A = this chain, B = another copy of it.
């Protein structure tokens, strides 16, 4: 596989780990060589820094999520040396009640770094697309 394909696969692993609430797989997605450089922004959250706090946040988020499914669109990968920048739109489907689901749109910037055993995530930044502002963007 090419660098771009590899980075795309690791990027997809983040979402698959979340969908299956797989804590071990989530841990393998992230870079543990430079744990202090790890950054994660969950949509609407402040910035979390450091591998430990980031993994704990994922465990908490996954424990509090009954059902979630991601449909990634507009995935672009740019590799420059040992860094891959993946940008994408997350079309998110979650369960609100037993009978109702809700959709949401999140945009994400994910920075991956090359390690001897493959690409690992150093930064995940997801942010909510808010309706009113999205309309303004369309007109701007």
Contact = CB atoms under 8 A, between A and B. Distances in A.
A27 interface: no
A123 B125 CA distance: 12
B125 A45 contact: no
Nearest to A129: B46
B44 A133 contact: yes
A111 B85 contact: yes
B57 A137 contact: yes
A74 B46 CA distance: 12
Interface in A86-140: 87, 89, 105, 107, 109, 111, 113, 122-123, 125-130, 133-134, 136-137, 140
Nearest to A105: B46
A56 B85 CA distance: 23
B123 A85 contact: yes
Contact of A44 (B82, B123, B129): B129
Nearest to A111: B85
Given A47-B87, A47-B107, A74-B47, A57 B129 contact: no
6 contacts: A44-B130, A45-B134, A46-B89, A46-B137, A85-B122, A85-B123
